[in-house]
């Protein structure tokens, strides 16, 4: 590995900038064609038969070379969007400025785009050098140059099974080195999200960021503040669902990129309880991803922000506020602080609140309220959330297990559990107050429970 790295370095130093790319044969790149989508092959074939160049490009080639199954396939070609569309029965042009074509095969969409040139100097950038437009058609070489990392600028021709490599991406990939194409500082200024991408791919490859690519990050990290918050959110979601979330979060912190993404992370990770909770949440997320299960963004962000919400909540309660309004205020404060940097979609933030607000309600376990909770759309997620809190000794694990059993039970089992609970002497804090109500209320509650219909 070290020998390879040194060899690569020497080669890079002595070799003049090449006009022609490396053409890498199957024996060298080792792509197993059986892992390639037949629809992506079909798109390349059809375009090539019509006289165009067409390659599978980007993340799919990177993943194929390292033996991972790509999650989707993109094609790049010198055909224009109109020309692409005319060759396929089910194809539509999408995007106005940045036009590309979706070629549709049943469930699978092959995103097919025309080679593009890098943005020409200055004109289409903001004051910090951030590119605002990037939609000029160009040659394949130019298309490679505008991509972010050498490992992401590879073109695979599935017909000849050759990989075209303009930036020595294949050796970088084999050595697990993340290297920016061009001058890293300029490329980060053009698009600060590339800093997050560099971190994500270094973790994904279990490799490292090459030193010149890493050097400017500390200084430029603040530029993330100029990126639309929704885009930062999308990238953070990719980072947290890449299968190695905790490592990504740690790396973000090491590179000083957390203040532009998760500003509260420092505070959280410095508190051992907060850190334990987040580690557990991210571990669970990684496990789900590894076995191919989906992860809900609201659950993930509810967990990431919980330590902060919780400590704020405790503070407000200590100041004498009632538990539920205090939780609401704590949630507002944390979400407000967070949303400045990372626009958490309104739909997600309302789900996050639901998950949080069910927590004190779970602790009360009033039979009548149980069905109301059960009917909430985020009930299952909130129960899972409570399991994590129990694992971190925030709540009683027997109570958390009761809710899990309830969530897993069928209708009959559930009524039995609630019936048994109604018959138990109440032991929980808030419920004790209610015991002072007239006795007749209790059977009425129980009857209401029996007759409620729960799907
Ligand atoms: P994955 O989809 O696994 O997250 P990917 O590399 O396919 O990884 P996409 O966001 O799907 O990432 O982008 C596809 C390709 O577009 C990349 O491989 C890269 O070549 C190029 N690209 C994406 N984002 C940028 C960027 N910010 N700057 C330059 N090129 C980019
Ligand atoms: Mg992709």
Angstrom distance (rounded) from CA 63 to CA 156: 12
Angstrom distance (rounded) from CA 435 to CA 412: 27
Our mutation pick for probing the ligand 1 site, out of 73, 197, 237, counting the most ligand atoms within 8 A of Cβ, is: 197
- Whole-number pLDDT of residue 429: 44
Any idea which residues carry the catalytic annotation? 72, 74, 148
Instruction: Evaluate the CA torsion angle 347, 348, 349, 352 in order and state its sign.
Output: positive
Torsion angles phi and psi, residue 125, rounded to 5 = -120, 160
Nearest CA to ligand 1 atom 18: 58
* Separation of CA 292 and ligand 1 centre (Å): 21
Task: Indicate left, alpha or beta for 30 from its phi (over 0: left) and psi (-120 to 50: alpha).
Answer: left
Domain 189-260 in CATH 1.10.110: yes
* Separation of CA 66 and ligand 1 centre (Å): 16
Rounded mean pLDDT for each run of 10 residues along the chain, 455 residues in total: 52 56 94 96 98 97 94 96 96 88 96 88 62 76 96 98 97 97 96 96 96 96 87 88 90 86 70 85 90 88 91 93 93 83 77 93 84 88 94 92 91 86 64 42 35 30
CATH code of the domain made up of 14-175: 3.30.460.10
The C-alpha torsion from 67 through 70 and 73 to 76, rounded to 10°, is -40
> How is residue 165 annotated by DSSP?
E
- CA 43 remoteness from chain centre: 28
Q: What is the CA radius of gyration of the chain?
A: 27
* Separation of CA 152 and ligand 1 centre (Å): 7
- Predicted structure pTM score: 0.82
Instruction: Find out whether the beta carbon of 143 lies less than 6 Å from any atom of ligand 1.
Output: no
Angstrom distance (rounded) from CA 150 to CA 77: 19
Instruction: Find out whether the beta carbon of 130 lies less than 6 Å from any atom of ligand 1.
Output: no
Neighbours of 51 (CB within 10 A): 9
The C-alpha torsion from 272 through 275 and 280 to 284, rounded to 10°, is 180
- Whole-number pLDDT of residue 427: 54
What atom of ligand 1 comes closest to residue 74's alpha carbon? 14
Torsion angles phi and psi, residue 20, rounded to 5 = -105, 145
Our mutation pick for probing the ligand 1 site, out of 152, 163, 169, 205, counting the most ligand atoms within 8 A of Cβ, is: 152
Query: What residue spans define the domains of the chain?
Result: 14-175, 189-260, 297-340+347-423
Instruction: Find out whether the beta carbon of 148 lies less than 6 Å from any atom of ligand 1.
Output: yes
DSSP state string for 261-326: T-TTHHHHHHSHHHHHHHHHHHHHHHHHHHTT----HHHHHHHHHHHHHHHHHHHHHHTT--HHHH
Residues 6+ apart with CB under 8 A from 8: 168, 171, 172, 175, 177
- Whole-number pLDDT of residue 360: 92
CATH number of the domain at 297-340+347-423, out of 1.10.3090.10, 1.10.287.3240, 1.10.260.40, 2.40.30.10?
Answer: 1.10.3090.10
What atom of ligand 1 comes closest to residue 58's alpha carbon? 18
Token couple for 133: 């437009």
- Whole-number pLDDT of residue 15: 47
């Amino acid at each position: 590995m070290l020998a390879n790295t040194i060899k690569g370095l020497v080669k890079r130093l002595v070799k003049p900038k090449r006009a022609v790319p490396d053409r890498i044969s199957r024996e060298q790149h080792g792509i197993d064609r059986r892992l390639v989508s037949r629809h992506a092959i079909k798109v390349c074939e059809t375009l090539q038969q019509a006289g165009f160049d067409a390659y599978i490009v980007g993340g799919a080639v990177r993943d194929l070379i390292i033996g991972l199954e790509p999650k989707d396939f993109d094609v790049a070609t010198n055909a224009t969007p109109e020309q692409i569309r005319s060759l396929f029965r089910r194809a539509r042009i999408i995007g106005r400025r940045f036009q590309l074509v979706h070629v549709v095969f049943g469930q699978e969409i092959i995103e097919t785009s025309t080679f593009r040139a890098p943005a020409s100097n200055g004109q289409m950038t903001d004051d910090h050098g951030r590119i605002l437009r990037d939609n000029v058609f160009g040659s394949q070489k130019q298309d490679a140059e505008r991509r972010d990392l050498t490992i992401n600028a590879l073109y695979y021709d599935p017909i000849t099974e050759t990989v075209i490599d303009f930036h020595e991406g294949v050796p970088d990939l084999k050595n697990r080195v993340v290297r920016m194409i061009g001058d890293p500082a300029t490329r980060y200024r053009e698009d600060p999200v590339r800093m997050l991408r560099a971190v994500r791919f270094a973790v994904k490859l279990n490799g490292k960021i090459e030193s010149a690519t890493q050097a400017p990050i500390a200084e430029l990290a603040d530029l993330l503040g100029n990126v639309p918050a929704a885009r930062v959110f999308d990238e953070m979601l990719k980072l947290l669902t890449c299968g190695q979330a905790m490592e990504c979060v740690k790396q973000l912190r090491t590179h000083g990129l957390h203040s532009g993404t998760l500003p509260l992370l420092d505070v959280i990770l410095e508190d051992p309880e907060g850190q334990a909770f987040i580690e557990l949440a991210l571990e669970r997320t990684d496990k789900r991803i590894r076995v191919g299960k989906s992860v809900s963004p609201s659950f993930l962000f509810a967990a990431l922000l919980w330590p902060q919400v919780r400590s704020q909540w405790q503070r407000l309660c200590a100041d004498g506020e009632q538990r539920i309004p205090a939780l609401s205020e704590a949630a507002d404060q944390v979400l407000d602080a967070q949303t400045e940097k990372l626009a958490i979609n309104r739909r997600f933030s309302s789900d996050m609140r639901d998950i949080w607000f069910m927590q004190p309600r779970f602790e009360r376990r009033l039979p009548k309220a149980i069905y109301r909770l059960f009917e909430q759309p985020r009930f299952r997620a909130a129960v899972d959330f409570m399991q994590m809190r129990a694992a971190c000794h925030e709540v009683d694990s027997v109570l958390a297990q009761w809710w899990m059993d309830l969530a897993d039970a069928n209708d009959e089992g559930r009524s039995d559990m609630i019936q048994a609970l109604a018959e138990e002497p109440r032991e929980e804090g808030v419920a004790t107050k209610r015991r002072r109500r007239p006795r007749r209320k209790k059977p009425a509650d129980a009857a209401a429970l029996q007759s409620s219909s729960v799907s």
